[in-house]
Structure 1
Amino acid sequence: MRTLLNLIWLIFSGLWLAIGYAVAGLICCILIITIPWGIACFRIAVYALWPFGYTVRDRHDAGVASALGNVIWLIVAGIWITIGHIVAGVTFCLTIIGIPFGIAHFKMIPVSLMPLGKEIVSTDAPAAYPHYRW
C-alpha cells in the first residue's frame, strides 16, 4: 500500500516538491555560507519524493548552532514553505481520496519549518520510535 501511495504522491506532489527543494538546496550551496540549509533542503527533497513509510525525528546531538540556524531559516523561508504545505494539505483533504496526501503534507511541516537537527528515518526501524526500548 505504501508503494502505491508513494507512486501517486510522486505524480501529484512529490516530484514538484523535490524539484523545488533541490533548486533551493543548489542556491543555498552556491552561496557557501548557507550550505547547512542547502544540505537540509536536499534531505527534505528526498523525503518529498517518497514520504510514506518514513518519519521525521529530532536528533539529540543537535546543538545551539542548529537552533540558531533554525531561527534564521524560520524567518527567511520556513514560514512560507510551511504555509504552502498547510494550503496543499487542506486542499488535498477536501476529497476523501486525497486525505492521505494531505496528511503527508502535514507530516512535512516540522522538517520544513525547522530543518536543522532533524533526521528522516524509516517507520520500520526501531530508531523511529525513541520511546520504545528493546
Structure 2
Amino acid sequence: MKTILNIIWFVFCGLWLAIGYFTAGIICCILIVTIPWGIASFRIGAYAMWPFGRVVVDKPTSGIGAALGNIIWLVVAGIWLAIGHVLTAIPLFVSIIGIPLGWANLKLIPVSLMPLGKEIVRSDTILPAYRHN
C-alpha cells in the first residue's frame, strides 16, 4: 500500500514539492553561508518525493548550532513553508480520495519548520524501538 500511495503522491504532489525544495537547496549551497539549510532542503526534498513509509526523528548528535539555525530558518522560511503545506492539504482533504495525501502533506510540516537536527528514517526501523519502551 505504501508503494501505491508513494506513486500517486509522486505524480500529484511529490515531484513538484521536491523540485521546489531542491531549487532552494541549490540556491542555499551557492550562497555558501547557507549550506546547512541547503543540505536540509535536499533532505526535505527527498522526503517530500517519497514520504509514505518514512518518519522524521531527532538526530541525537545535534546541538546548539542546529537550534540556532532552526530559529533563523523558522523566521525566514519555515513559517511560510508550513502555511503552504496547510493550504495545499486542504483541497486534498476536501477531495476525500486525497485524504492520505493530505496527511502526508501535513506530515511534512514539522520538518519544514525545523529541519536542522532531524533525520529521516524508514518507519519499519523506528517503530519497533518505540514498542519496547
TM-score (norm 1): 0.95
Q: How many Å separate the matches in 1 of 2:127 and 2:65? A: 24
Question: Identity of counterpart residues, as a percentage?
Answer: 59
Q: Which residue of 2 aligns with 1:122?
A: 122
- The equivalent of 2:27 in structure 1 is 27
1:71 CA displacement: 0.2
Shift of 1:95: 1.8
Consecutive unaligned residues in structure 1, runs of 5 or more: none
Q: Secondary structure at the match of 1:97?
A: coil
| Structure 2 runs not aligned, ≥5 long | none
Deviation of 1:128 after TM superposition, in Å, equals 4.7
Question: 2:132 — aligned with what?
Answer: 133
What is the CA-CA distance between 1:132 and the residue it aligns to? 3.4
- What letter matches 2:28 in structure 1? C
Equivalent AA in structure 1 for residue 12 of structure 2? F
**Structure number having the greater helix percentage:** 2
Q: Deviations over 1:73-97 (max 9, x none)?
A: 0000000011000111122111211
Q: Within 2, Cα distance between the matches of 1:131 and 1:14? A: 28
Tell me how far apart the structure 2 counterparts of residues 112 and 91 of structure 1 sit (CA, whole Å).
20
RMSD over aligned Cα, in angstroms?
A: 1.3
Question: What is the TM-score with the length of structure 2 in the denominator?
Answer: 0.95
Query: CA separation in 2, counterparts of 1:39 and 1:129?
Result: 28
Native 8 Å contact 1:121 1:128 kept in 2: no
Question: CA offsets per residue over residues 18-49 of structure 1, 9 Å max, x none?
Answer: 00000000000000000000000000111011
Could you say which residue in structure 1 is the equivalent of 2:66? 66
How far the C-alpha of 1:131 sits from its partner, in A, is 3.1
Aligned residue number for residue 90 of structure 1: 90
SS at structure 2 position matched to 1:121: strand
Match of 1:8 in 2: 8
Aligned length: 133
